[in-house]
């Protein structure tokens, strides 16, 4: 009997799609088009989509029932209302009921006449101005959200406030100073070498800014410049509280593309992919314009700037899933499947998109590459801390007196970011707890902010850097409600690929809603989640809950260590 290793696993969908010309590349887009304007479920229209591309009905029903954008009814008027952390903190979640009353229908349903449908989503990138909703593609934000949706007030959506705290921004130079993009790529592709680009990035010590913090150069090297290598710019910024990627894609999309081009060059990749989450329609439009302009200017195409280098970049719109931002889940979605995390090994750099070596870097990571190549890796490495170099975009939520996106050096004290850059909380409110790095990143108490903004510093306090979104909770929100919110997010966004996370997140929510101390059952549940979950999503849940319990102390007895 011959043992079958992880690299030899047979994937029936991939095999079938490969024989059919990879229609999975277009499947999610085709499903979105078919479901637009329909208030009935995917069971009535998804099989027809599969039949048109030569796939069995199950191949379409799987993703159509998994992704929130596809599974939710879509009436001619479709409203997506944010239920994520920053919008929840803005009004303790009361805006959800206000929207339901105003539109006469609840999330996940269509109105009786079929004219309006409502979808509850987790982050629209308006964390600085919440609560927020998208009426079609029109954003509405602020305390009068329900009145805007009923037409009693005009839509209001302020731009993202941005500021630099470094004196020499790596990421916000284009946004704040108008520094032109595409100043590095032409020279690199015509007179430079891939090894030079890789060398500078290695010298910089740049780590991924999407949450995992893996060394970028090491990931690029792991792909080995294999045949058909693909580099993916991950714009599926799903961490509630963070809107840095949205800012970059909307305000400086060409710089993101230049970073992607340099990454493709270093990795020997003839193809790049940009995934933009569907909750960011303006970012998708700006990125699409930037790609078209890049082709027109000769930055992309079969012979880039007259060289033998060929590079094509395509855009893909997400379909609404938090876990689909994890690299194995993202790749599954790009192939037309359910965006569930997959086991590793094999790692994507060995066997990723359609089995090709695949590098996944998030938008903020790639946006730093042009600065590094132009100014040198050593110049970047002198910033931040010796172990965690460079700068980071930090996003402050609506509760702050000065919300917005700030570029800071890694290691900047969290207290300074909160009190000086953010100005403390608005209206003199008292900080009760600070969420750092997304809903599963972790929480800090108001008296525990003397910690550097770094992965090492935050992890020592039970938190995580993640996307570095800071969401402030004031005393108006009860600790039990915050706890329930964390568990609701975990239960709703678990991809369901592994039973510890799928069952554990739901059981945790039931326990949190019961209003009684969790006791030994929580101890067992947290151990299973931490040790047996397939990906970091499930493994982070116990850490996030424990950090929340520490932040609130006796008010959440039983949930701590």
The whole-angstrom separation of Cα 308 and Cα 45 is 45
Q: pLDDT band for position 515 (50/70/90)?
A: confident
Let me know if the fold of 395-473 is the same as that of 479-556: no
| pLDDT band with cut points at 50, 70 and 90 for residue 323 | confident
241-246 mean pLDDT? 96
Instruction: Say what percent of the chain tops pLDDT 70.
Output: 96
395-473 is classed CATH 3.10.129.10: no
- Is the domain spanning 479-556 CATH 1.10.3470? The answer is no
User: In this structure, is the dihedral angle defined by the CA atoms of residues 457, 463, 464 and 466, taken in order, positive or negative?
Assistant: negative
Q: What predicted TM-score, i.e. pTM, was given to this entire model?
A: 0.94
Task: List, for residues 72-87, the tens digit of each pLDDT value.
Answer: 999 999 999 999 999 9
How does residue 250 score in pLDDT terms, banded at 50, 70 and 90?
Answer: very high
Pick the CATH number of 77-149 from 3.40.50.2300, 3.40.30.10, 3.40.50.300, 3.30.43.10: 3.40.30.10
∠ Cα 340 507 327 (to 5°): 20
DSSP classification of residue 279? T
Rounded to whole angstroms, the Cα distance separating 538 from 543 reads 10
2 has pLDDT over 50: no
Q: Quick one: 149 exposed, middle or buried, by C-beta within 10 A (0-12, 13-18, 19+)?
A: buried
Model confidence band, residue 1 (pLDDT cutoffs 50, 70, 90): very low
Question: Which CATH superfamily is 162-381 part of?
Answer: NADH-ubiquinone oxidoreductase 51kDa subunit (3.40.50.11540)
For the cut 50, the answer to whether the pLDDT of residue 6 exceeds it is no
Tens digits of per-residue pLDDT, 128-182?
Answer: 999 999 999 999 999 999 999 999 999 999 999 999 999 999 999 999 999 999 9
- Band of residue 14 on the pLDDT scale cut at 50, 70, 90: low
Average predicted confidence (pLDDT) for the chain: 92
C-alpha separations of 233 from 155, 170, 230, 246, 360 in Å: 31, 18, 10, 13, 6
For the chain, give the percent of residues with pLDDT over 90.
78
Confidence of residue 3 (pLDDT cuts 50, 70, 90): very low
Q: Are 377 and 204 in contact (CB under 8 A)?
A: yes
pLDDT bin (cut points 50, 70, 90) of residue 238 is: confident
Which tens digit of pLDDT belongs to each residue from 258-281? 999 999 999 999 999 999 999 999
pLDDT at 15: 61
In three-state secondary structure terms, 361 is strand
Q: Enumerate the domain spans of the chain.
A: 13-66, 77-149, 162-381, 395-473, 479-556
Q: How many CA atoms lie within 13 A of 234 on its CB side?
A: 27
In this prediction, residues 397-417 reach a mean pLDDT of 98
Q: What is the mean pLDDT of residues 441-470?
A: 93
């Amino acid at each position: 009997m011959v043992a079958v290793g992880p690299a030899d696993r047979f994937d029936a969908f991939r095999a079938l799609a490969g024989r059919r010309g990879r229609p999975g590349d277009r499947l999610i887009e085709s499903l979105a088009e078919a479901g637009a304007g329909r208030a009935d479920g995917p069971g009535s229209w998804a099989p027809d989509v599969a039949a048109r591309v030569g796939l069995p009905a199950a191949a379409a029903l799987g993703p159509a029932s998994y992704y929130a954008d596809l599974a939710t009814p879509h009436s001619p008027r479709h409203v997506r209302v944010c239920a994520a952390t920053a919008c929840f903190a803005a009004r303790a979640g009361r805006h959800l009921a206000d929207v339901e009353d105003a539109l006469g229908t609840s999330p996940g349903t269509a109105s009786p006449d079929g004219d309006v449908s409502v979808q509850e989503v987790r982050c629209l990138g308006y964390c600085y101005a919440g609560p927020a909703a998208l009426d079609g593609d029109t954003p509405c934000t602020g305390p009068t959200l329900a009145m805007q949706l009923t037409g009693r007030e005009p839509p209001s959506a302020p731009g993202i406030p941005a500021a630099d705290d470094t004196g020499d921004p790596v990421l916000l130079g284009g946004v704040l100073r108008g520094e032109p993009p595409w100043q590095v790529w032409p020279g690199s592709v015509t007179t430079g070498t891939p090894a030079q680009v890789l060398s500078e990035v290695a010298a910089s010590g740049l780590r991924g800014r999407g949450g995992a913090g893996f060394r970028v150069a090491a990931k690029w090297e792991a792909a080995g410049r294999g045949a058909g290598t693909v580099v993916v710019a991950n714009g599926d910024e799903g961490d509630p509280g963070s809107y840095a990627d949205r800012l970059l894609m909307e305000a400086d999309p060409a710089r993101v593309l230049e970073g992607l081009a340099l990454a493709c060059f270093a990795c020997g990749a003839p193809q790049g992919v940009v995934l933009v989450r569907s909750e960011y329609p303006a970012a998708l439009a700006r990125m699409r314009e930037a790609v078209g302009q890049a082709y027109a200017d000769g930055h992309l195409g079969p012979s880039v700037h007259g060289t033998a280098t060929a590079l094509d970049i395509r855009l893909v719109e997400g379909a609404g899933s938090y876990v689909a931002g994890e690299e194995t889940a993202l790749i599954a979605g790009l192939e037309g499947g359910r965006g569930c995390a997959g086991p590793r090994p094999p790692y994507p750099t060995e066997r990723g998109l359609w089995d090709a070596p695949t590098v996944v870097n998030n938008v903020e990571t790639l946006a730093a590459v042009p600065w590094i190549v132009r100014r040198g890796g050593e110049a970047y490495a002198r910033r931040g801390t010796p172990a965690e170099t460079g700068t980071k975009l930090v996003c402050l939520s609506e509760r702050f007196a000065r919300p917005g996106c700030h570029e800071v050096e890694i290691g900047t004290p969290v207290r300074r970011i909160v009190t000086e850059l953010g100005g403390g909380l608005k209206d003199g409110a008292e900080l009760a707890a600070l969420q750092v790095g997304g809903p599963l990143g972790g929480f800090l108490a108001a008296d525990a902010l003397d910690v550097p903004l770094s992965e090492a510093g935050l992890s020592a306090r039970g938190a995580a850097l993640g996307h570095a979104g800071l969401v402030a909770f004031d005393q108006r929100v009860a600790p039990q409600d915050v706890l329930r919110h964390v568990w609701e997010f975990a239960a709703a966004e678990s991809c369901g690929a592994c039973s510890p996370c799928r069952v554990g997140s739901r059981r945790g929510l039931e326990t949190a809603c019961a209003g009684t101390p969790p006791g030994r059952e929580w101890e067992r549940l947290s151990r299973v989640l931490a040790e047996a979950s397939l990906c970091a999503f499930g493994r982070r849940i116990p850490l996030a809950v424990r950090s929340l319990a520490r932040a609130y102390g006796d008010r959440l007895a039983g949930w701590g260590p």
